[in-house]
Amino acid sequence: MKRILVTGGAGFIGSHLCKKLLELRNEVICLDNFFSSTKKNIIPLMTNPNFELLRHDVTFPLYIEVDEIYNLAAPASPIYYQKDPVQTTKTIVHGAINMLGLAKRTKAKILQASTSEVYGNPQEHPQTEEYWGNVNPIGIRSCYDEGKRCAETLFFDYYRQNNVPIRVVRIFNSLTGDQKVIYYKNGILKYKKFIDCYDDIKNEIENIIVPCFGKDNRYVLSPISGIHKHKVTKNGYELFLTWGKQIKLTEDHGVFILNKNQKIQEKFVKDLVIGDIIAIPNQIKWIDIPLMPFKISNILKQDFNFYVSNDDDLERIINNKYFINKCKQSGVGLPSTINNFKRVKRIKSSFLKSNNIILNSNDYIVLDDSKHIIKNNINIMEEFLWFLGFYVAEGSLVNNNGGDYQLHFYSDLKYLQKLNQIIYNLFELETKIYSSDTKPHICIRSKIIFELVTKYFEFGIKKQLEKIIPDWIIQLPKDQLKWFLLGFWEGDGNHDAKTTGNKLIFSSSSINLIDNLNLILLKFGIIGSTCCYYTTCSKDNPKLYKGYLITVQGLSHYDISRLDTVVQKLQRKKNSDIQWAHIKDIKKFDLIEENVYDFSVKNFENFIGGDLISCHNTYGPNMKINDGRVVSNFIVQALTSKPITIYGNGKQTRSFCYISDTVNGLISMMEQDKYVGPINLGNPEELKIVDVANLIVNLTESDSKLEFKSLPLDDPTRRKPDISLAKEILKWRPKVNFKEGLQYTIKYFKDTLGR
């Protein structure tokens, strides 16, 4: 565990850096005199035993023992550094001398957080690290700009003269999993826990789309602009809604509520109360992929060497000129070969392939050590999907050390009779119903069918209680999906004369399976009510086992074979594709250094998570309301309906880097040993000030007008970093685009102004 000093640790960047370093299991000493920072930024860190706050002015020497130093101490906002320019220069220059002296004595690595202001009003664009800048040494901004330039000089002199291990970065402007999510990766549906989703797509978000709703309350599929993972030490809340739906969120995440004016409004979880009405999807957009007829031999050809059993093949072989010529060339007697095929009634698939003999659709296949010949071509998709649904509901597996492959089905007699017929229709395999034990059942002994179900169609070799519905099933079009659902319902057996015709009931001991069933129902525009129950297996075994029920009511009809024509009417309010659910209970829990996750979706900023609930992603910066920077100024003015003040004509450009990207860059720079700097950290996306203002007005839906004022002295006209070195040496680049980070920051200021 390293002992790390962060000067200016209660400031905007410093507080985020302290938090990140604590998450990485370090001891952190936060040093600050609170001239331009605020203690509230670090209050959440105070309970961490590895965090220590030291109130101290860096213009005075410090005598402690540390392994690393991040020197961030300086008033970075023009409002603060121009308030006392002499003190600003002393803080930057004397602070650098004192921290370098500490690093020299303790042999600690030290990183200087320099600034893009060392380039002044640049004549080179974009700015590379080799550019010396264009700075006015006697202007009103010089205390900060020249102070930072002098600090860099001191750092490199200590490096050359005293071998102090320095790092120098030039920072450009900064902004600040167990829930399931739906997303598409290259058009393929995925429905998995956010932690697994993050691992799946974190390095390739370009082809990821998610369902989300727009202003007309209609769901669309939209590409994500980012996926985020960060640790929190704040409170979490679990929401319990109508129909048994649940979701876990951190306190500063948002969901969508229906306010008193019947308008959709984003609301922070910590502000929710029982009775609030939450948005859940009633209908969303899908990408469907149908299951097409297939040959078993084509699907499993990599794993098995099949034999084909069909009298017609013998006739085709006799008349195959290629085969006859090959027998003559090799000296093999043609009659003996044909007679051997007739005797065993099997032809190896590899033999047919090598002799250019194509399998017919009515071929039958069998393994070398098997007695069970089955039909190769599967072309009745409705019955095959019914068979798979029945297996999920009532099937179980037997695989005795790889020597016996069986699928067992237990159900009511009438449904087993239907299963018996469908097995024959699909595979032309004869099975029988066993009724000697307590419950009738059917057993399929076929390694080919066993592998087809468990491996290729991804139902997995697991115990019955752990079965899931694979994602490809959910992606089926409704006219196919209904047959899978019918097979599950008939195999499930949770229906009788009282329920048939007035409700649908699905049950399982697996919550994962219940989640998938709810998603399947959503494809039909159906919302089911989920509850849990406890039951015993038998009279002789009093142990209670947990199970789950989905109950569906309010349908125009209950015929699952016609479910693609159904309409559901519920008592609760509905707006287009959004159904409204009441909060029935809220439970608070502590999140101690837990990872949380977010999608960013350009132009929508919502996605579906948990038990199919529409979520908003947000987390806040620690920027001060009155710090005088462009972003904070514009946001506060927009939120308070004041004029947006732009200095100059607004055509000046800036680049903005999200705070988490900046912090990660600082830590990457400290941890590498190849390069001392300077190195640029920033976002190469160049934006005009007037465009930033208009974007903030649009995002906040403000009625603020733009107001232009004279340009301050020495205000740079262009700012854009060249981050080639950061990419090459640190393998670093910003991951959060400006609009995305801006939306997070707006929400933070909304909350701050509300308080």
Dig out the tokens for 676 from the structure: 């001392």
What does each C-alpha distance from 697 to 240, 603, 623 come to in angstroms? 35, 14, 19
Q: What is the DSSP string of 466-506?
A: G----HHHHTS-HHHHHHHHHHHHHHH----TTTTTT-EEE
Dig out the tokens for 465 from the structure: 């209680």
Closest CA to 112 of 64, 161, 171: 171
d(CA 320, CA 323): 5
d(CA 173, CA 657): 6
Residue 190 β-bridge partners: 183
What number of H helices and E strands is found in the chain? 21, 40
How many Cα neighbours within 13 Å face the side chain of 654? Answer: 20
Please check whether residue 732 is in contact with residue 670, taking contact to mean a CB–CB distance below 8 angstroms.
no
d(CA 168, CA 487): 65
Q: DSSP state, 39?
A: G
619 in active site = no
How many Cα neighbours within 13 Å face the side chain of 467? Answer: 24
Q: How many residues does the chain have?
A: 755
Strand segments, DSSP code E, in 214-263 are: 219-232, 235-241, 246-250, 254-258
Q: How many CB atoms lie within 10 A of CB 300?
A: 17
Residues 6 or more apart in contact with residue 390 via CB below 8 angstroms: 409, 411, 415, 419, 487, 488, 490, 491
Please check whether residue 696 is in contact with residue 629, taking contact to mean a CB–CB distance below 8 angstroms.
no
User: Which amino acid, residue 229?
Assistant: K
Residue 20 β-bridge partners: none
CA 690 to chain centre: 33
Q: What is the DSSP string of 350-363?
A: HHHHHTT-PPPTT-
How many Cα neighbours within 13 Å face the side chain of 436? Answer: 2
What does each C-alpha distance from 21 to 15, 65, 448, 665 come to in angstroms? 10, 17, 54, 13
Dig out the tokens for 341 from the structure: 């095929």
Angle in degrees, CA 46, 50, 52, rounded to 5:
55
Dig out the tokens for 352 from the structure: 């047919």
Question: Residues 467, 472, 478, 482: is their CA dihedral positive or negative?
Answer: negative
What does each C-alpha distance from 651 to 64, 78, 141, 173, 717 come to in angstroms? 47, 20, 20, 17, 8
Q: DSSP state, 269?
A: G
Please check whether residue 409 is in contact with residue 387, taking contact to mean a CB–CB distance below 8 angstroms.
no
Residues 6 or more apart in contact with residue 351 via CB below 8 angstroms: none
Q: What are phi and psi of 347, to 5 degrees?
A: -125, 125
Dig out the tokens for 257 from the structure: 């509520």
Cβ burial, residue 420 (10 Å; 0-12/13-18/19+): middle
Residue 589 β-bridge partners: 236
Q: What are phi and psi of 622, to 5 degrees?
A: -115, 30
Residue of 81, 144, 198, 597 marked catalytic: 144
d(CA 574, CA 273): 21
Angle in degrees, CA 663, 227, 732, rounded to 5:
40
Dig out the tokens for 730 from the structure: 């640190």
Catalytic residues: 144
